[in-house]
Amino acid sequence: MFPRDHLKNWYKGQGLWSDTPDYEWNTWQWQMRNRFNKKEDFDGYLKLTPDEEEGCGFADQKLLMSITPYFFNLIDRDDPDCPIRKQVIPRKSEKIVSPEELLDPVGEENNMVVEGLVHRYPDRVLFLATPYCASYCRYCTRSRLVSNAQDYNLHSEYDARIKYISEHPEIRDVLLSGGDPLVLSNRKIAELISRLRAIPHIEFIRIGTRVPVFMPQRINTELCEILKEHGPIFMSIHTNHPKECTIELKEACAKLLSSCVVMGNQSVLMKGVNDNADTLMSLSHRLLQMGVKPYYLYQCDLITGSAHFRTDVQKGIELIRQLRGFTTGYAVPQYVIDAPGGGGKIPINPDYVKEITGTEIILLNYQGNEYRYPLHGGV
């Protein structure tokens, strides 16, 4: 029996900063200014483990550390294995590089047609709008460029990217990502989206963002008006654990939904964070209660120094098997592997087809019971 979630049990992020006036706490600029960016920032707030101390020591050469006070408050400070803590505090395991790991695990550089624009699929592009995020995830697929710690120096100058899109009428879908586009100013976001909307063949604009999760204060009235004006905008947020589904995130999602933003969620399957069915089920249920469809569950990419996060693929398949049929179909994300080298996202599913004979397909339902269906359609 899976646990039921009730709104009264939702998390609320303030706690440590209870003396900070609401007018400061509730602004994204205050959250950005007061981020934990270096080891010493934890003094008086959190005792780092030796493993974390060592991890913090080299983060500035790999992927910067940055944690908003809001997100920091979701950490259980008495638990070194807290699933929130693991996502954002570097550990020494990041130094260990396995032979199969890559700086660019999904081959984006091979498909980079101009700086910051990846054209891999025929009708859509990935537009890297900025290298910066509100906080940095230790398993980030784009660690090579995000935060500019590795001197990638991705610039927020869009003319060449917009020109390429304008000259390619086969592109109908633009995914704005990065880094995180929602750390840009409202002026810059409005300008970028309106330039894209002015291109006649662009039908579909998506934003991939973790800002509502790291800093729901960013979802303010002005931003919502911009998104509404250019809607519908499709937005994928990124939560990995039910603790991230706070009252504040729920309110931010409500504002986005009422601004004609269509909401989905992407998660990364990670050891010790969300690699059990209860956690994934609870996360999905909370997302649905916020009006957010669990969209993708990613097998953790082969990013350099991420072996400590990766689960067996068989485990991921088994977890999906434990969700499918046992809860609402909307609550089951598509488990995918983003193929190393640039093959794109490949869906991975439990096998419900037992056999295909000359006349029928033999199926197994979610309980393992066998059913038959004629192979050929009617006359």
CB of 140 to ligand SF4, least distance (A): 3
Stretch that binds ligand SF4, among 53-61, 137-145, 196-204, 257-265 (CB under 6 A): 137-145
- 67 scored as a contact of ligand SF4 (CB under 6 A): no
Closer to ligand SF4 by Cβ: residue 171 or 182: 182
β-partners of residue 338 are 345
- 180 scored as a contact of ligand SF4 (CB under 6 A): yes
CB of 256 to ligand SF4, least distance (A): 17
DSSP string, 71-95: HHTTS-TT-TT-HHHHHHS--GGGG
- 136 scored as a contact of ligand SF4 (CB under 6 A): yes
- 210 scored as a contact of ligand SF4 (CB under 6 A): yes
CB of 52 to ligand SF4, least distance (A): 18
Closer to ligand SF4 by Cβ: residue 144 or 250: 144
Region class of 325: left (phi > 0), else alpha (psi between -120 and 50), else beta: left
Catalytic residues: 120-121, 124, 133, 137, 140, 142, 301, 338, 345
In terms of DSSP H, where are the helices of the chain? 22-25, 28-33, 50-62, 69-72, 83-88, 159-166, 186-197, 211-214, 221-229, 247-257, 277-289, 313-323
CB of 74 to ligand SF4, least distance (A): 15
Cβ atoms < 10 Å from Cβ of 279: 19
Structure tokens at 152: 């990638």
Sequence-separated (6 or more) residues with CB below 8 Å from residue 314: none
Strand order in the sheet with 360-364: 353-356, 360-364, 370-374
- In the list 48, 56, 82, 146, the residue contacting ligand SF4 (rule: CB under 6 A) is 146
- 36 scored as a contact of ligand SF4 (CB under 6 A): no
DSSP string, 219-244: --HHHHHHHHHT--EEEEEE--SGGG
- In the list 32, 84, 129, 140, the residue contacting ligand SF4 (rule: CB under 6 A) is 140
Closer to ligand SF4 by Cβ: residue 5 or 216: 216
β-partners of residue 360 are 374
- 216 scored as a contact of ligand SF4 (CB under 6 A): no
Stretch that binds ligand SF4, among 38-46, 112-120, 150-158, 172-180 (CB under 6 A): 172-180
- 59 scored as a contact of ligand SF4 (CB under 6 A): no
Instruction: Give the chain's length.
Output: 379
Query: Are residues 84 and 283 in contact, defined by beta-carbon separation less than 8 angstroms?
Result: no
Closer to ligand SF4 by Cβ: residue 304 or 322: 304
- In the list 86, 91, 142, 310, the residue contacting ligand SF4 (rule: CB under 6 A) is 142
CB of 127 to ligand SF4, least distance (A): 13
Using alpha carbons, select from 292, 289, 290, 269 the residue that is nearest to residue 279.
269
Residues within window 115-134 making contact with ligand SF4, judged by CB under 6 A: 133
Stretch that binds ligand SF4, among 136-144, 188-196, 219-227, 241-249 (CB under 6 A): 136-144
CB of 211 to ligand SF4, least distance (A): 8
Query: Are residues 121 and 106 in contact, defined by beta-carbon separation less than 8 angstroms?
Result: no
- Each residue of 336-357: b (16+ CB within 10 Å) or e? bbbeeebeeeeeeebeeeeeee
Distance CA 207, CA 198 (A): 17
Closer to ligand SF4 by Cβ: residue 46 or 146: 146
Region class of 151: left (phi > 0), else alpha (psi between -120 and 50), else beta: left
Q: Which residues here bind ligand SF4, judged by CB under 6 A? A: 133, 136-137, 140, 142, 146, 178-180, 210
